[in-house]
Structure 1
């Protein structure tokens, strides 16, 4: 007996039936599988703006397959609007809020299955966390990426071009008229941003996990195919319910390994590490196990795809080049192809389907002739990051994979940005931006603007940034984020002083502070945690419960408590 049947039987649950009937549902509706649609649609987020129509297409598919759709709204915030201000502190915590909301609605109403609609940075991870937690039939439907804008600085522009343009304006490279024109043309359609940032990374990761219909991650938001895929998803979820295939039949250690492979093979966002750790936690898989997988898989996975910010090609180009299915075909020998997908076929069966169109080898290479022999994500460790840090070799020029410089320390993102725009940063500086970790921020903000300003000022290839905060998937230059332990926990990053030498050695997976242990011990004894006002509400809760970045930075209540 289905979950919904148990609470809709007569006469004991006639009250429940009357609740549905008060909204116009019929006896026939209540006999069918009750399929929830968790929709993050809003008029605040371009990646969610089209989801009202996508949701309607999903409903059509559910009805066609013999189910009853019941839609509800969930929150979804825009990283872009929140960049470089206090709003960014709220972005990562929304991931837990979304997972909790979906869990609450599905369990309170005993739904039989759930379709999860979202496209943006923390929305998709939150949806996947909920799916893993609930272990019910579930499918993710992305809204799809937006199209690229007019050419700027030698490539199609995107929303992040505005920050680069601000740096160029400050440097006198462009005028205000050109910047204003760019503002009108860099985001020509709705959808998740047209570069390979965290939003599109997590949609691709969801497909690699088997949680999106094959090929569904990268169909542009404005394409009719996106609507057809949404309707097909509606049919597919009813099929999963009828067959009893649940999310944990799909999301497991083997499919997580596939997701890590694809993340590395495509040079996805460093945030993908954070989110996969959090998803794995929902399954009871430890961060130690996952980080070991990241190390081993990263070292053995070639980079076969390059997309903006690693190249001039945007997400529409990636889609036409073959997208995630083609990437997975190129590295198939390294994948666990026996895993189940939401199509109810194995990954092997999905990848064996006939392909159409011509592969663009400037976007997707073969496994024998990749862009590089190692993956796009790397974990670095050392006396500056005992529990690790995350970097992105695919977004860093090869000559900067070994970088040695002098520390210039800032205790917030704003301090660093002011110094950059005041032209206080010099070549060979390593900007240390701290107290921006999960607890210390709180909220683990992205140091997006700092990197973009350095790019605009022509310093991206001669400086580096290290932080206990995060980076946007669109950032490039030399950077290491997620440094753990974080500064607010008196991690070594809190003890760095201006003038200290720091070496980032990506090939060796090392980050080193060239200060002896005795000196660091003396500094630790004198360390005083900076006072920071934390507003009541979700930020205070997050600051109290957030785990370390190397554990996924999700809100956790200790078993003992």
Structure 2
């Protein structure tokens, strides 16, 4: 049995010609009896500069303690990087957020492969952590599982529930005199009460819920709050599941299949998840050698009803799913019973998705307004729209809840950076009926494709969400809402048509026909193209320079291992 599950680590532990390697192992406390055991790496995205990640080391230690007592397993704790989206939002540091996904994947692949660990338990927190570890686990393709760090508790001020987006939007509200300086300060102080990832159906919770539905986490991992006893118990139970995965040689590519990926996307859409799921799923599918394209998201979105009344477009948070619904498994069971999800897919429990949830209670629609029935949904089809047109010949991504309408036509107000746009919004330079254009913030142009949460939050705070639209070759936070279109490809940096828009040009966004159009004659566009001067990035060295030289387009998932 031991020989079977230590097939990677034995390349070091059972070779007589590696005395220095063995000396190193003795130095870290390995005993003679441990040399024939399988080795498991516990990788956390721990760092204490971010609430999403501050507690991950503690969770990792709980996992390590549970595994250390197993007769057939050795365990080693590893850390990798993370970037706080909330802390860096609206600053130059935000350019590192999406690129950190690649560093996370590369670093995990490097340590696990070089040290020949037999299995992996990954414990991610913030947004890019989850797809980063998932990409690495698929590249490694050895028995692995994910434990989500969990969601933050809600804040409270003046009997109003708060989260991180409340802080962003409060700035816009203060700017127009809607709230006082004291109210503004109190909202900021009470928005984030402790450890855990941002509470709404933003990117971290979107991806966590999707990974649970794909089968890469234990049931309820996505909905157990970060500081709950349930999360600690989940960590304590991980030992038996990783051992079972090793014993039966169940690998990520056995779990992540075209069908399970479709399950994950469907679940995320049904809950009104972040548009970031598109670039992350494209990258994950690439690592799994599964074909996935933008058009697939449009097809799925057109067939899936939105049933989650969750922030940012709705009212509730992930903690409410845990407290009032009974956790994510209740929703998964409901969607399987409705024929939306396929329950036959294998999961890290060694059982099928349906077997994981079949014995839990059915959802009750009479005592809650968090999850709606599919025959009376919040929206009859998905909020994600893939728009094409002369402004996005390779595609763009819109998040249309329906509250902001389905059609917008207005005159362009053009900005070559997010900072320029933020200043204009805060100084009341935006007129109702305008389409704000923020360009040169794509994967290469940013570089790093920063999120535009600040401008969308300022628009919401200023009460303009129903009267203006925003388009960009950058991307949006899972916390963004309003009439917004991102991921415009080709991006401005490479001479996409977004680079040739001028102030006053008419732009049409039609989410019913899935089009994004610059209403300028083609011959005029070509004239502008001839006199256009390519953008010269200020980034000429370092990681971002390497990233901009290797990253694929947003329509291809912003991957660097092409």
Shift of 1:72: 0.9
Shift of 1:195: 1.7
Shift of 1:143: 1.0
Contact 1:257 1:293 in 2 (8 A): no
Q: CA RMSD in A?
A: 1.6
Map 1:429-440; keep pairs closer than 5 Å: 429-440=434-445
Q: Which residue of 2 aligns with 1:544?
A: 549
Q: Which residue of 1 aligns with 2:91?
A: 85
CA 61–357 in structure 1, closer or farther in 2 if over 3 Å, else same? farther
Shift of 1:282: 1.1
Shift of 1:30: 2.7
Contact 2:203 2:277 in 1 (8 A): yes
TM-score normalised according to structure 2 size: 0.95
Shift of 1:229: 0.7
For 1:423 and 1:84, how far apart are their aligned partners in 2? Answer: 18
Out of 38, 54, 59, the position equivalent to 1:54 is 59
Contact 2:14 2:36 in 1 (8 A): no
Contact 2:157 2:187 in 1 (8 A): no
The count of aligned residue pairs is: 552
Q: Which residue of 2 aligns with 1:200?
A: 205
Contact 1:263 1:376 in 2 (8 A): no
Secondary structure class of the residue paired with 1:479: strand
For 1:504 and 1:90, how far apart are their aligned partners in 2? Answer: 30
Contact 1:44 1:77 in 2 (8 A): no
Secondary structure class of the residue paired with 2:122: strand
For 1:277 and 1:37, how far apart are their aligned partners in 2? Answer: 26
For 2:441 and 2:65, how far apart are their aligned partners in 1? Answer: 44
For 1:488 and 1:527, how far apart are their aligned partners in 2? Answer: 11
Shift of 1:390: 0.9
Shift of 1:356: 8.2
Secondary structure class of the residue paired with 1:72: strand
Structure 1 unaligned blocks of 5 or more: none
Structure 2 unaligned blocks of 5 or more: none
Out of 261, 266, 289, the position equivalent to 2:266 is 261
Cα distance per residue 1:197-239 (max 9 Å; x no partner)? 1111111121121111011111111110000011222321121
Contact 2:176 2:462 in 1 (8 A): yes
For 2:317 and 2:8, how far apart are their aligned partners in 1? Answer: 43
Q: Which moved more, 1:155-164 or 1:262-271?
A: 155-164
For 2:76 and 2:68, how far apart are their aligned partners in 1? Answer: 11
Map 1:344-493; keep pairs closer than 5 Å: 344-355=350-361, 361-394=368-401, 396-397=402-403, 399-493=404-498
Contact 1:304 1:327 in 2 (8 A): no
Shift of 1:64: 4.3
Secondary structure class of the residue paired with 2:152: coil
Q: Which residue of 1 aligns with 2:315?
A: 312
For 1:358 and 1:59, how far apart are their aligned partners in 2? Answer: 37
Shift of 1:556: 3.4
Contact 1:403 1:504 in 2 (8 A): yes
Secondary structure class of the residue paired with 2:9: helix
Cα distance per residue 1:373-396 (max 9 Å; x no partner)? 2113221111111111111223x5
Shift of 1:338: 1.6
Cα distance per residue 1:102-124 (max 9 Å; x no partner)? 00000001100001111211111
Shift of 1:352: 0.9
Map 1:504-515; keep pairs closer than 5 Å: 504-515=509-520
Shift of 1:18: 2.0
For 2:190 and 2:508, how far apart are their aligned partners in 1? Answer: 40
Q: Which residue of 1 aligns with 2:282?
A: 277
For 1:228 and 1:19, how far apart are their aligned partners in 2? Answer: 33
Contact 2:400 2:484 in 1 (8 A): no
Q: Which residue of 1 aligns with 2:560?
A: 555
Contact 1:209 1:256 in 2 (8 A): yes
Q: Which moved more, 1:548-557 or 1:462-471?
A: 548-557
